[in-house]
A and B are shown apart, each in its own frame.
Chain A
Amino acid sequence: MDVLALTPWDDWSIFIQLCVNGVTLGSVYALIALGYSMVYGILKMLNFAHGDVYMIGSFLGYFMLTSGLDGPMNLAVPIWLALTLVLLVAMLGAGLLGVAIERFAYRPLRNAPRIAPLISALGVSFFLQNSALLLFGANFRTYDAFTLDGGVLFTKGIFEAWGKDDAIALNLPLLNMLVIGGAIVLMILLTLLVARTRLGKAMRATAFDREAAAMMGINPDRVIMATFFIGSALAGAAGVMVGMLFGQVYHFMGFLAGLKGFTAAVVGGIGSIPGAMLGGLLIGMIEAFSTGYLPEGSKFQDFYVFILLIAVMLFRPTGLLGRADIAKV
């Protein structure tokens, strides 16, 4: 491909295609980033094991969706119900894993030097990654052994699936739409939870000042536990979605996704929930557009995301929607 071979003006259908890819990827990154951001908001610590929770979530989804299925799936329940159930169970599993990690690896270190929980998180991440390698093997597990709902979900575009393929010559896969839709629903639920419920209020209070919150009768341990559960459940959901989207899961997938989720959280302003969503979307878009429009973009997407990270760090160190923390001495 020649340098800067394309501009959006050359081919608008490619532009729209890239937009769809970017939004899909971005909503997945946003889901991962939310977990980082929420945990950081409350504990002021980076949970390096978050990416591996996402990986475990995608394995859970994979095993549930492929167990005993080869060939076109014939379910007693409708496909949307099956997918919702799988998503919910994977979220539950990932959430419980997150709670366990918090309880056993981070809680003993609440008052340790700041570096201790970070190292512990690296250890947990390493442990989970290699345990997955032991349990599931080094091979990529692929979804291609089965085709959900007669293959509609994986191969056919959304207009095709609805019988209107002449409407526009675009491949908007139904699966992408499902992922975007699912992510939006989850994010709305999360926003409502944080803004409207007692638990959300307690979370905000704990994030603002843990000691003061404890004095007001909030149990910080329970709030932290809930935060980890919700954040990890979102990562688990993202894992299931990505597994289906790319058709494969493997033990090392958590690292890169975690890194991107991380970057998304930082770019958006770590600790801020809308910031995480914005950051995730931004990074997804950059990755998608770099494959189309930037020199050697399909190989060096990471590089362009890194440039964005550096730029944000230089010009707005608190992130796009983050607020500056004023240190009190």
Chain B
Amino acid sequence: MPDEPPIERRPQESERPEYPDAAQRPRVGVDTWVAEHGERVQRGPLRRAAERVPGWARLLAFVAVAAVFPIAVDDEYLQRVGVDTLIFMLLAVGLNVVVGYAGLLDLGYIAFFGFGAYTYAIVSSDKYDYHWPAEATIPFILVVTAALGLLLGLPSRRLLGDYLAIVTLFFGQLFVTITNNSTDVKLPFMDRARDLTGGPNGITDLDPIDFAGVELNSVPRYFWFALALFVLVVVALHFVNESRTGRAWRALREDPLAAEAMTMPVNRLKLLAFAFGAAVAGVTGAIFASLQTAVFPQSFDVSLLIILYAMVILGGTGSLAGVALGAIVVNVLLEGLTNTDDTLPVVGETPPRLLFYGLVAVGLALIVRPWRWLAVAAAATIAFGFAARLVAEQWWERGTAGRPSQAGRIGDLVDGWLLFPRDPVDIGNYAFVALIASVLVLTLLRRPWRWIALAPVLYLAAFVWENRLIQEPSVTRFILLGAILVGLMASRPQGLFGTARVEIA
């Protein structure tokens, strides 16, 4: 990308920094946000054209495409993925209010989602024998979760960002603990011990949402319902963000102290952000509960939180379109990485393999310049592979005894030069640890050595993937997600679509 603003250009190793402490100095005056709004940044023609499209047109285009999705795709699994994606998008835009607009690190967000889901379960199942109509349930959940958000915000309002993170993280864990353990509880005001939440077995057999005479009894209907809600939420949040409150939130995010000095009611603003985020999460929880027809504590654990943060961060905090896009990308990625059953029609390969090699290629393309070196690196890797294979055939009989575990075109391609040992689990584990170490070392190496080491490391990555990671897709996807988060923070902390801000100390 030739049009990158100057702040993102990494210094070449050959260049000596101007000052010995250049890396440590605050980069005043090269803030992307400032530069963009002073129109000092030249964007490429594509990006400029994309930016000229107004927000409502983008939303409309998305809705138009999304609305026909359940009709065009006649596959229950894919439709379900679509609904899940919408749920994640709703959660992500809700979290964006707290993290992106107001800059508060809320790590208990999932608890509001769970609270909404459990509230729905309580008022619409046989467990307590309430069967409220959805027209009443959904506003009720909206109010209750917003109130819970306020309540959690109350003790936190005096706190600086970091303390807030701990209180909310603990709160999120507490939600799981309480729902998990309230099976046989006798509290001081109760006459006997009762089962409040069903514990790990959850609450099952929930009523489907029956909203304004339309019963949501099929996946496409849930899809449209979630889509309508998404549009509603996005439009509402857009206007909130453009309002006085929204501007105040941004001021609070940039500098709470200065905001307070400007007589902004900092505490009230924080509480408001919490309540907004919580309300969105609560309503989404109701849809989620009704879609699943059951709620379980383990659906609301900390891994969901990290997935959500990955969505918001990847998209770029603060931008509605960004976080929505982030939610789509991350959820499709996570789903794709576990879908090992089907081979995609055109390319003749399973999604996990494509995604893995695609991610490696994209990662390399972001780092390697000029791009012709990519081809060299690939060729060197394959050459290294053939050499390794030759050596193994002579000395290490076990190393070539296995086969690729999944069929597919890439599987056939790597079969010739990758080693496939018999019983690859242990070897794969050691190779995995070696891979982490060698990738880390690679980032430390200087120019010629980095190039020389690249091919063996790539080879090792392919080896670990084909022999070990591909066997454990549900774990692998989280390992990759964690690695992506760390890598993204190191290379582009503002996310893919966000703008960089520099804190001036």
A interface with B by C-beta (< 8 Å): 3, 40, 44-46, 100, 103-105, 108-120, 122-131, 133-135, 214, 255-256, 259, 262-263, 266, 270, 295-296, 299-300, 302-303, 305-306, 309-310, 313-314, 317, 327, 329
**Pairwise interchain contact B440-A314, C-beta atoms closer than 8 A:** no
**Pairwise interchain contact B169-A118, C-beta atoms closer than 8 A:** no
**Pairwise interchain contact A126-B493, C-beta atoms closer than 8 A:** no
Task: Write the B469-487 contact mask toward A (1 if CB under 8 angstroms, else 0).
Answer: 1001001101101111110
Q: Tell yes or no: B11 within 8 A of A by CB.
A: no
Q: Tell yes or no: B24 within 8 A of A by CB.
A: yes
**Pairwise interchain contact A104-B187, C-beta atoms closer than 8 A:** no
**Pairwise interchain contact B489-A119, C-beta atoms closer than 8 A:** yes
Q: Tell yes or no: B178 within 8 A of A by CB.
A: yes
**Pairwise interchain contact A113-B501, C-beta atoms closer than 8 A:** yes
**Pairwise interchain contact B490-A105, C-beta atoms closer than 8 A:** yes
**Pairwise interchain contact A127-B309, C-beta atoms closer than 8 A:** no
Q: Tell yes or no: B503 within 8 A of A by CB.
A: yes
Q: A116-B493, A134-B475 are in contact. Are A100 and B440 (CB under 8 A)?
A: yes
**Pairwise interchain contact A296-B161, C-beta atoms closer than 8 A:** no
Q: Tell yes or no: B170 within 8 A of A by CB.
A: yes
CA distance A236 to B248 in the complex (A): 44
**Pairwise interchain contact A126-B181, C-beta atoms closer than 8 A:** no
CA distance A173 to B440 in the complex (A): 43
**Pairwise interchain contact A109-B163, C-beta atoms closer than 8 A:** no
**Pairwise interchain contact A120-B174, C-beta atoms closer than 8 A:** no
**Pairwise interchain contact B482-A130, C-beta atoms closer than 8 A:** yes
Q: Tell yes or no: B303 within 8 A of A by CB.
A: yes
**Pairwise interchain contact B178-A300, C-beta atoms closer than 8 A:** yes
CA distance A128 to B475 in the complex (A): 11
**Pairwise interchain contact B489-A123, C-beta atoms closer than 8 A:** yes
- Collect the chain A residues with CB atoms within 8 Å of residue B317's CB: 115
Which of A119, A303, A317 is B177 in contact with, Cβ under 8 Å?
A303
**Pairwise interchain contact A134-B186, C-beta atoms closer than 8 A:** no
How would you classify the secondary structure of chain B's contact residues: helix, strand, loop or mixed?
helix
Please give 18 more A-B residue pairs, beta carbons under 8 A apart, in addition to A306-B171, A317-B158: A3-B186, A104-B443, A109-B489, A110-B23, A111-B27, A113-B503, A115-B99, A116-B493, A119-B313, A119-B489, A120-B489, A126-B481, A126-B485, A130-B475, A134-B469, A296-B181, A296-B186, A306-B170
| 8 contacting pairs across A/B (C-beta < 8 A) | A111-B24, A118-B105, A122-B309, A125-B306, A129-B482, A302-B170, A305-B170, A306-B170
CA distance A302 to B297 in the complex (A): 16
**Pairwise interchain contact B174-A306, C-beta atoms closer than 8 A:** yes
CA distance A118 to B475 in the complex (A): 22
**Pairwise interchain contact A124-B490, C-beta atoms closer than 8 A:** no
Closest A residue, CB atoms, query B199: A299
CA distance A131 to B481 in the complex (A): 12
Closest B residue, CB atoms, query A210: B24
Closest B residue, CB atoms, query A138: B475
- Collect the chain B residues with CB atoms within 8 Å of residue A300's CB: 177-178, 181
Closest B residue, CB atoms, query A136: B429
**Pairwise interchain contact A309-B170, C-beta atoms closer than 8 A:** yes
**Which positions 1-26 of chain B face chain A at CB distance < 8 Å?**
21, 23-26
Closest B residue, CB atoms, query A251: B475
CA distance A6 to B451 in the complex (A): 69
**Pairwise interchain contact B501-A122, C-beta atoms closer than 8 A:** no
Q: Tell yes or no: B290 within 8 A of A by CB.
A: no
**Which positions 54-85 of chain B face chain A at CB distance < 8 Å?**
none
Q: Tell yes or no: B350 within 8 A of A by CB.
A: no
Q: Tell yes or no: B300 within 8 A of A by CB.
A: no
**Pairwise interchain contact B166-A266, C-beta atoms closer than 8 A:** yes
- Collect the chain A residues with CB atoms within 8 Å of residue B433's CB: 135
**Pairwise interchain contact B188-A120, C-beta atoms closer than 8 A:** no
Which of B103, B188, B443, B503 is A295 in contact with, Cβ under 8 Å?
B188
**Pairwise interchain contact B482-A123, C-beta atoms closer than 8 A:** yes
Closest A residue, CB atoms, query B313: A119
CA distance A78 to B309 in the complex (A): 49
**Pairwise interchain contact A110-B24, C-beta atoms closer than 8 A:** yes
**Pairwise interchain contact B167-A118, C-beta atoms closer than 8 A:** no
**Pairwise interchain contact B163-A317, C-beta atoms closer than 8 A:** yes
Closest A residue, CB atoms, query B26: A111
- Collect the chain B residues with CB atoms within 8 Å of residue A296's CB: 181, 185-187
**Pairwise interchain contact A120-B490, C-beta atoms closer than 8 A:** yes
Q: A46-B165, A115-B99, A134-B429 are in contact. Are A123 and B158 (CB under 8 A)?
A: no
Task: Write the B407-420 contact mask toward A (1 if CB under 8 angstroms, else 0).
Answer: 00000000000000
- Collect the chain A residues with CB atoms within 8 Å of residue B429's CB: 134-135
Which of B156, B171, B468, B501 is A134 in contact with, Cβ under 8 Å?
B468
- Collect the chain A residues with CB atoms within 8 Å of residue B178's CB: 300, 303
CA distance A2 to B468 in the complex (A): 51
Q: A266-B163, A306-B171, A313-B158 are in contact. Are A131 and B479 (CB under 8 A)?
A: yes
- Collect the chain B residues with CB atoms within 8 Å of residue A306's CB: 170-171, 174
The 7 nearest A-B residue pairs measured at CB: A123-B485, A127-B482, A126-B482, A116-B493, A120-B489, A299-B181, A130-B478
CB B205 to nearest CB in A, in angstroms, measures 25
CB A131 to nearest CB in B, in angstroms, measures 6
- Collect the chain B residues with CB atoms within 8 Å of residue A329's CB: 257-258
**Pairwise interchain contact A122-B485, C-beta atoms closer than 8 A:** yes
CB B50 to nearest CB in A, in angstroms, measures 25
CA distance A259 to B27 in the complex (A): 35
**Pairwise interchain contact A3-B188, C-beta atoms closer than 8 A:** yes
Q: A120-B490, A123-B489 are in contact. Are A135 and B432 (CB under 8 A)?
A: yes
Q: A135-B432, A317-B158 are in contact. Are A122 and B187 (CB under 8 A)?
A: no
Which of A105, A109, A134, A310 is B476 in contact with, Cβ under 8 Å?
A134
CA distance A317 to B158 in the complex (A): 8
Q: A120-B489, A122-B309, A134-B472 are in contact. Are A310 and B481 (CB under 8 A)?
A: no
Q: Tell yes or no: B454 within 8 A of A by CB.
A: no
**Pairwise interchain contact A119-B309, C-beta atoms closer than 8 A:** yes
